[in-house]
Structure 1
Amino acid sequence: MVSTKQRVAIVIPARYASSRLPGKPLADIAGKPMAQHVYERALQVANAQVVVVATDDERVAQAVGAFGGECVMTSPDHPSGTDRLAEVMTQIDADIYINLQGDEPLVRPADIESLVTGMLADENVKVGTLCHPIEAHEASNPNAVKVVLANNGNALYFSRSPIPYPRDGEAVQYLKHVGVYGYRRDVLADYGSLPQPMLEHAEKLEQLR
């Protein structure tokens, strides 16, 4: 039975000082900054009650204010978007927090709704995310993060390498991980205090924590 009492907040981490493309949240796309495209799509998620941009730069905050969005300022020292999300939790009250990357202007609101619906339906699910099938040629791209699942749908591992590896040329299905995360409040509260393991450092994937 789906609970209607749980409050859902979509948080859009938007760093100005991106290592690959500085100022990326303000990049103009069809006359709007990228952050606005993401924000407007997040507003279309029917089962979320709050949408907010989390940034560490006043230029992003001003741009969000200019298009009428809600924004919170956070520390510039967070190593990942999830660490930034944990700080937002101290300012925005919710039961489930959705981490929606600020550089995903083409994200589909229906996909986020599906993630939220799954978490609302089962309170035992503490962390949720998204994935979809891809072809083998895309699986070889290290910028496309892959995930392998157990039979019950739980993620076993995430990697930039092609996984699973077809040793004898067997047909395998590759799943691309979509970097949208859902966290229950208690898990998010503990996230920042967890040590960063070797796997997270090696793959540069925060979900491995």
Structure 2
Amino acid sequence: MSFTVIIPARLASTRLPNKPLADIGGMPMILRVAQRALKSGASRTVVATDSTEIIDICKASGVSAVLTRVDHASGSDRLAEACDVLGLRDDERVVNVQGDEPLIDPALIDAVAGLLAQRSDCVMSTAAHAIGTLEELLNPNVVKVVVDAHNTALYFSRSPIPAARDFPAQAWWEAGSTLPAPLRHVGIYGYQVGFLRKFPALPQAPLERLEQLEQLRALWHGHRISVHVTHEAPGTGVDTAEDLERVRRLFV
């Protein structure tokens, strides 16, 4: 199985400015992410960024990097441009590892890539794990996913899904259920390169605008996303200053 890891990284961040350059144990976060990705089975790992500063930092550390436009609306747009810069064929596969995941498990990267190779009926793959607390289930910042019998995504939402018809989520949670635990979506994606090149040109879906979840665009237009359900919760991602401090403590 051959695939490329692409790590999108941009300096503009409303909640944590210059996030890719944030120091974690004496190393910029973007290099921490790249280190983890390089331990996966990827044939190559490349940072795709709009910053010459990030390009210079990566090159000084021996990490491949390509410069992309500054005006991309989303990470998938940046990935699509990176595929063109790298000269990837439509039949190749890429895994999008977010640039704020310094604790990403290399085995999870391999699993998402492998699932895409196994499921020819799906143009994308991603991951999920069982939600462990009621607070997570009710938190709109925790994205949930519902899958079918073959672990193909049916829907992603910020709301608690699946929802019990006859009683509130708290009562269902406390009483237990014969259904599988609700799933938290993990923001890692595998793509068929040919689909990734077409994806940014697809019209935005009404559900995508409502939920602010880009993956709903693929489902809206009839494409399928396979989901790797992992028993291991992913490491802490860095969205806020508090997240950054939690991760820094692990590298002391």
Task: State how many pairs are aligned.
Answer: 203
Alignment partner of 2:193 out of 182, 185, 205: 185
Q: Which residue of 2 aligns with 1:89?
A: 83
Please give the TM-score of this superposition, normalised by the length of structure 2.
Answer: 0.77
The question of 1:10 aligning with 2:31 is answered no
Partner of 1:166: 164
List aligned pairs for 1:1-209, cutoff 5 A.
4=1, 7-46=2-41, 48-92=42-86, 93=88, 95-135=92-132, 136-169=134-167, 170=172, 171=177, 173-209=181-217
Asked if 2 retains the 8 angstrom alpha-carbon contact of 1:26 and 1:63, the reply is no
TM-score normalised by the chain length of structure 1: 0.92
Q: 1:143: how far off? A: 1.6
Greater mean deviation of Cα atoms: 14-23 or 112-121: 112-121
Equivalent position amino acid for 2:141 in 1: N
Amino acid at match of 1:199: L
Segments of structure 2 that go 5 or more residues without pairing to the other structure are: 218-252
Secondary structure at the aligned position of 2:63 is classed as coil
* C-alpha deviation, 1:166, in angstroms: 1.9
Deviation for aligned residue 1:204: 1.6
Q: Residue type of the partner of 2:138?
A: S
Q: Deviations over 1:115-161 (max 9, x none)?
A: 11222233333210000001222111122111111122110111111
Alignment RMSD: 1.4
- Percent identical among aligned pairs is 46
CA contact (8 A) 2:94 2:113 kept: no
Greater CA drift, 119-128 or 140-149: 119-128
Structure 1 or 2, whichever has the larger Rg, is 2
Structure 1: how far apart are the matches of 2:19 and 2:28?
9
* Structure 1 gap ranges (5+): none
